[in-house]
């Protein structure tokens, strides 16, 4: 167990509603990531963080925002959910050290209807 928890694990929401996914770690690792996984697209990076209040965009950041006000929590917000954001979302954490392994949460299945 890498000490990473995603919540909720499953969510169904309506188009146009805001949604926040939470990633919580107990490892005090510096780096945290949000990915979405879709068939044919693999894992695509949404946003990532390299420290408290330090975040950057990934390849598919449109429609998403993040916040990291403390080391252990990395929040992903869909400001106004759309059906194209139906996906499985993964959070990952990495300790400092360039060759270190990333550890993943169990994923959140989000359905936007």
Partner 1 sequence: AQTVTQSQPEMSVQEAETVTLSCTYDTSESDYYLFWYKQPPSRQMILVIRQEAYKQQNATENRFSVNFQKAAKSFSLKISDSQLGDAAMYFCAVFRGTSYGKLTFGQGTILTVHP
Stretch binding partner 1 (CB under 8 A), from 11-19, 65-73, 77-85, 101-109: 101-109
List the interface residues with partner 1, window 1-30 (CB under 8 A). 30
Among positions 19, 66, 81, 92, the unique one binding partner 1 when judged by CB under 8 A: 92
Among 13, 22, 24, 58, binds partner 1 (CB under 8 A): 58
Of the pair 63, 107, the CB lying nearest partner 1 is at: 107
- Quick one: 59 or 79, whose CB is closer to partner 1? 59
Six token digits for residue 3: 């000490």
**15 or 106: CB nearest partner 1:** 106
**Secondary structure (3-state) at 42:** strand
Let me know: does 49 contact 40? Beta carbons within 8 Å: no
Give 80 or 84: the residue with its C-beta nearer to partner 1.
84
Beta strand 19-25 with 4-7 is antiparallel
Per CB under 8 A, 65 contacts partner 1? no
Show the CA angle centred on residue 70, arms to residues 110 and 34, nearest 5°: 30
Within a 10 A sphere around the Cβ of 21, how many other Cβ atoms? 21
Separation of alpha carbons 66 and 21, rounded Å? 10
């Amino acid at each position: 167990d890498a000490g990473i928890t995603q919540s909720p694990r499953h969510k169904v929401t309506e188009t146009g509603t805001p949604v926040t996914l939470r990633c919580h770690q107990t490892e005090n690792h510096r780096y945290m990531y949000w990915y979405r996984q879709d068939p044919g697209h693999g894992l695509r990076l949404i946003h990532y963080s390299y420290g408290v209040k330090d975040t950057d965009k990934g390849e598919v950041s449109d429609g998403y925002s993040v916040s990291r006000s403390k080391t252990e929590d990395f929040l992903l917000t869909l400001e106004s959910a759309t059906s194209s954001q139906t996906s499985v979302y993964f959070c990952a954490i990495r300790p400092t050290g360039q060759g270190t392994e990333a550890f993943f949460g169990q994923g959140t299945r989000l359905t936007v209807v």
